[in-house]
Amino acid sequence: MPAASRPSSGAASTDARRPVGDPTDGAATSAAEKAAIKAWKVDLRELGRRAGSMREWEKTIPARPGWGVEMIGVPEGAPVDLHLRLESVMEGVLVSGTIDVPVTGQCARCLEPVEDTFELDVQELYAYEGSTTEATSGEDEVRRIEGDQLDLAPLVRDTVVLTLPLSPTCTPDCAGLCADCGERLDDLPADHSHEVIDPRFAGLAARFANLTDDADGAQPGPGSTDTEEN
Ligand SMILES: [Zn+2]
Ligand SMILES: [Zn+2]
């Protein structure tokens, strides 16, 4: 009976109710996102596999998200300058050179914004699929070449994150904030201080002030008279 084998409207609505995941997830891997990921991949076909062949790789590529530690990092999309040399070796491709990465963050002492550009050296071997190196090393030890492509993003990310200071400072000797008023000590005069009396002694201090007043008032003559008599 064809009518019975057809999916009922009930089944169809069950399908419709099934969690479909976040539809924006799929949309996020849009053409723009794919292009941003692809920008970090080097097509190795031009370089070729002949050991010794070399290629310069000078590019500025927008940073991927998540390249940072708690207080400092590379803003997503910030321009990262790559001055790299790709060299074909027996086991794979050797990537070396420097990368200039803009970083922004917050001073760990005074919370002022911190902005800097790091120039970092890189030297890394990417192993060919099927090479001895690939066979004898873990994926976390030696980076891999996938097909004809080499992904620079993880290398740059790891290099940056390992270099970032856990406690960045606006200046090497930033004095931080005043514990009493919260102002930046470097912006305050050198003798900045607060006369703060511990609340437990506040009453005592007040009594002391009164006693001194009383003593001053009670003594008709100068205290030096007594000393003279002795
Ligand atoms: Zn600071
Ligand atoms: Zn203060």
What separation in Å is there between the alpha carbon of 200 and the centre of ligand 2?
A: 21
Q: Which of 83, 87, 115 is nearest to 99 (CA)?
A: 83
What separation in Å is there between the alpha carbon of 71 and the centre of ligand 2?
A: 24
What pLDDT was estimated at residue 211? 64
Residue 127's H or E segment, with its range, is strand 113-127
pLDDT at residue 7 is higher than 60: no
Name the token pair of 31.
């053409």
What separation in Å is there between the alpha carbon of 168 and the centre of ligand 1?
A: 8
Ligand number, closest to the Cα atom of 185: 2
What separation in Å is there between the alpha carbon of 175 and the centre of ligand 2?
A: 12
Ligand number, closest to the Cα atom of 192: 2
Q: Which of 206, 205, 179 is nearest to 193 (CA)?
A: 179
What separation in Å is there between the alpha carbon of 183 and the centre of ligand 2?
A: 6
What separation in Å is there between the alpha carbon of 113 and the centre of ligand 2?
A: 20
Ligand number, closest to the Cα atom of 112: 1
The tens digit of pLDDT for each residue in 41-75 reads 999 998 988 888 999 999 999 999 999 999 999 99
pLDDT at residue 131 is higher than 50: yes
Question: What share of the chain in percent tops pLDDT 90?
Answer: 60
What separation in Å is there between the alpha carbon of 65 and the centre of ligand 1?
A: 26
Ligand number, closest to the Cα atom of 182: 2
What separation in Å is there between the alpha carbon of 30 and the centre of ligand 2?
A: 51
Q: Which of 88, 96, 94, 84 is nearest to 53 (CA)?
A: 88
What separation in Å is there between the alpha carbon of 6 and the centre of ligand 2?
A: 79
Instruction: List beta partners, residue 125.
Output: 94
What separation in Å is there between the alpha carbon of 83 and the centre of ligand 2?
A: 47
What pLDDT was estimated at residue 19? 47
What pLDDT was estimated at residue 152? 97
> Residue for token digits 């940056």?
160
pLDDT at residue 163 is higher than 90: yes
Residue 74 DSSP one-character state = P
Higher pLDDT, 11 or 147: 147
What pLDDT was estimated at residue 212? 58
Name the token pair of 21.
């995941």
Which whole number is the average pLDDT over 104-111? Answer: 96
What separation in Å is there between the alpha carbon of 110 and the centre of ligand 1?
A: 4
What separation in Å is there between the alpha carbon of 192 and the centre of ligand 2?
A: 6
pLDDT at residue 14 is higher than 50: no
What pLDDT was estimated at residue 213? 58
The tens digit of pLDDT for each residue in 167-205 reads 999 999 999 999 999 999 999 999 998 886 677 777 766
The tens digit of pLDDT for each residue in 108-119 reads 999 999 999 999
Name the token pair of 102.
């803009």
- Per DSSP bridges, beta strands 149-151 and 72-73 are unpaired
pLDDT at residue 106 is higher than 70: yes
Name the token pair of 112.
């002022």
Mean pLDDT taken over the chain:
82
Cβ atoms of residues 40 and 61 within 8 Å = yes
